[in-house]
């Protein structure tokens, strides 16, 4: 019951949990939402349990804000509504995934060693199991196998990982030295050491998150970029303007709406808006066309969408993402530092490196955040990020400064890696946080990264024109 990390060789214990038979997974119920490609994605287990509980209580809807998600599930329409944008997606409840039954009394949720027998609905265990917490069970079972059987077992268990394309590393195996996939090397090492057989793995590729130590005298300012740090600023819409007045400059009224749906409320444009939330002051049957992209919506729906956002004077088309005005985010207060260090990034040997250091402390959520008044955590700060000191690298830095000023680099939400809610998370602009390698995908070399991040910034309304308009 161990997890082997291929790039560092780290072993961590793993466990499996049983859910109460009365819960959603216990009944084989899975809740899913429809993504943009038309396929279905299951909710996280705990979210599904929460939705199922409300469904069984015959509640008409459930607000998921309390568990860190800005969505409302409407059981009457089987739809998911984004509280900020009012965008709707279909949801469904599946009953065809049967929860695996066990024999005897239902066990409590805890860590379980892999048993050597079978359970109802499951196949027999492998002739040899990975070692348990104390290693004794695995050692006894594996010691009965010869080297050939062990190698076959390791091959079988790592075939899927090998097929994923993980690069090979040198490993001294039983027959000499040859390049062996690290997944195979790690699993083979676990199995053979458990059986008391000789195994010697060379050190896996080193994960280099930070450059060698840099003295203060070696840190330089970046030519063409004034200052070396910047604090978060908060920009608000001009006071006194109502949402209707803000949106009026982006819209043209449509007297004869086309025979199609409003993609915000999903009702026909020729009928009144189907939005059921707090009531805007405009009439629900008015229809408007966005001036630049030409997409048409109920004005009532656009005002409702604006009211559920930052109210910063900007609007983003929910269909094509065209931005009207200056889009700002909800990044909490913090500091951004940036300077040159005398080291080169892999793939950029001819230039130095721009290092960016983001620092955001934990605090209390404001009215623009998911849970106003509630505390939020800030894990992993200060966060170090890297760009090559090339012409394009400096261009990216200048646009990141604009994004920082507009509070678009971070947000408060639920971490996709840890599942923690009410915490500081990245906000759709990818950064490179690994310095001297690219084992995690967050480092260099990466020939497409600078172009990709420029595209991500453009999607947030930040381009070279934006950098020219705002002072460093």
- The tens digit of pLDDT for each residue in 36-89 reads 878 889 998 889 889 998 998 888 889 887 777 888 999 989 999 987 778 889
Say how far apart CA 217 and CA 331 lie, in whole Å. 32
Average pLDDT estimate for 257-265: 91
pLDDT attached to residue 14:
87
Average pLDDT estimate for 105-110: 49
pTM for this prediction: 0.57
Asked whether 80 and 60 are in contact (CB, 8 A), the reply is no
Relative to beta strand 30-34, strand 229-231 is: unpaired
Pairwise pLDDT comparison (368 vs 131), residue with the higher score? 368
198-206 LR contacts (CB < 8 Å, sep 24+): 198/174, 199/173, 199/174, 200/172, 201/9, 201/171, 201/172, 202/169, 202/170, 202/171, 202/172, 203/9, 204/6, 204/7, 204/8, 204/9, 204/169, 205/7, 205/167, 205/169, 205/437, 205/439, 206/436, 206/437
Say how far apart CA 139 and CA 118 lie, in whole Å. 20
Say how far apart CA 42 and CA 47 lie, in whole Å. 10
Average pLDDT estimate for 425-440: 90
Does the domain spanning 243-323 belong to CATH 3.40.350.10?
Answer: no
Q: Is residue 438's pLDDT more than 70?
A: yes
Going from N- to C-terminal start, the domains of the chain cover: 2-12+109-201, 25-94, 219-230+329-469, 243-323
Q: Is residue 449's pLDDT more than 60?
A: yes
Say how far apart CA 300 and CA 282 lie, in whole Å. 6
Domain topology for 25-94: 3.30.720
Task: Report CA-CA distances (Å) from 306 to 245, 264, 296, 321.
Answer: 12, 12, 15, 14
φ/ψ region of 195 (left if φ > 0, alpha if ψ in -120 to 50, else beta) reads: alpha
Question: Which H or E run contains 252?
Answer: strand 251-253
Pairwise pLDDT comparison (114 vs 254), residue with the higher score? 254
Confidence class of residue 235 from pLDDT cuts 50, 70 and 90? low
Confidence class of residue 160 from pLDDT cuts 50, 70 and 90? very low
Q: Is residue 170's pLDDT more than 50?
A: no
Pairwise pLDDT comparison (175 vs 289), residue with the higher score? 289
pLDDT attached to residue 417:
77
Does the domain spanning 219-230+329-469 belong to CATH 3.30.390.130?
Answer: yes
Beta bridge partners of 424: 412
Mean pLDDT across the chain: 78
Q: Is residue 113's pLDDT more than 60?
A: no
Question: How confident is the model over 179-198, as pLDDT tens digits?
Answer: 444 445 555 555 555 555 55
- H helices then E strands: how many in the chain? 9, 24
Q: What angle do CA 203, 209, 214 make, to 5 degrees?
A: 115
Confidence class of residue 117 from pLDDT cuts 50, 70 and 90? very low
Backbone phi and psi for residue 139, each to the nearest 5 degrees, phi listed first: -65, -40
């Amino acid at each position: 019951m161990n997890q082997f990390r291929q790039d560092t060789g780290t072993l961590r214990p793993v466990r499996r949990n049983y859910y109460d038979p009365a819960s959603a997974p216990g009944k084989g119920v899975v809740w899913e939402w429809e993504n943009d490609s038309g396929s279905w994605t299951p909710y996280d287990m705990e979210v599904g349990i929460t939705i199922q509980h409300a469904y069984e209580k015959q509640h008409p809807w459930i607000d998921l804000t309390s568990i860190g998600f800005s969505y409302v599930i409407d059981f009457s329409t089987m739809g998911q509504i984004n509280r900020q944008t009012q965008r709707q997606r279909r949801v469904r409840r599946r009953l065809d995934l049967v929860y695996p039954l066990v024999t005897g009394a239902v066990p409590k949720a805890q860590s379980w060693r892999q048993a050597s027998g079978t359970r109802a609905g499951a196949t027999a265990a492998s002739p040899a199991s990975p070692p348990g917490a104390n290693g004794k069970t695995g050692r006894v079972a594996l010691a009965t196998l010869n080297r050939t059987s062990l190698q076959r077992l390791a091959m079988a268990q790592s075939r899927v990982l090998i097929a994923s394309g993980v690069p090979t590393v040198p490993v001294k195996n039983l027959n000499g030295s040859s390049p062996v996939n690290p997944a195979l090397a790690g699993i083979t090492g676990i199995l053979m050491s458990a059986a008391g057989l000789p195994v010697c793995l060379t050190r896996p590729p080193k994960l280099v998150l930070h450059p060698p130590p840099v003295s203060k005298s070696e840190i330089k300012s970046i030519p063409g970029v004034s200052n070396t740090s910047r604090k978060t600023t908060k920009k608000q819409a001009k006071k006194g303007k109502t949402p209707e007045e803000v949106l009026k400059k982006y819209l043209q009224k449509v007297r004869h709406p086309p025979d199609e749906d409003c993609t915000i409320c999903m009702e026909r444009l020729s009928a009144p808006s189907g939005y059921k939330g707090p009531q805007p002051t405009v009439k629900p049957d008015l229809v408007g066309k966005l001036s630049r992209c030409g997409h048409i919506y109920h004005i009532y729906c656009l005002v409702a969408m604006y009211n559920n956002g930052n109210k910063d004077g900007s609007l983003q088309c929910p269909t094509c993402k065209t931005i009207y005005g200056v889009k700002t985010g909800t990044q909490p207060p913090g500091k951004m530092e940036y300077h040159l260090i005398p080291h080169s990034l892999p793939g950029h040997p001819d230039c130095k490196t721009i290092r960016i250091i983001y620092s955001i402390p934990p605090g209390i959520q404001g009215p623009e955040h998911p849970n106003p008044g509630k505390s939020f955590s800030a894990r992993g700060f200060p966060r170090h990020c890297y760009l090559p000191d090339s012409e394009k690298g400096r261009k990216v830095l200048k646009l990141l400064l604009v994004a920082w000023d507009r509070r678009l680099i971070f947000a408060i939400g639920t971490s996709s890696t840890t599942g923690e809610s009410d915490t500081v998370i990245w906000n759709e602009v990818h950064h490179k946080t690994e310095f001297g390698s690219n084992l995690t995908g967050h480092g260099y070399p990466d020939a497409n990264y600078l172009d990709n991040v420029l595209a991500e910034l453009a999607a947030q309304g930040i381009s070279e024109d934006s950098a020219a308009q705002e002072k460093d």
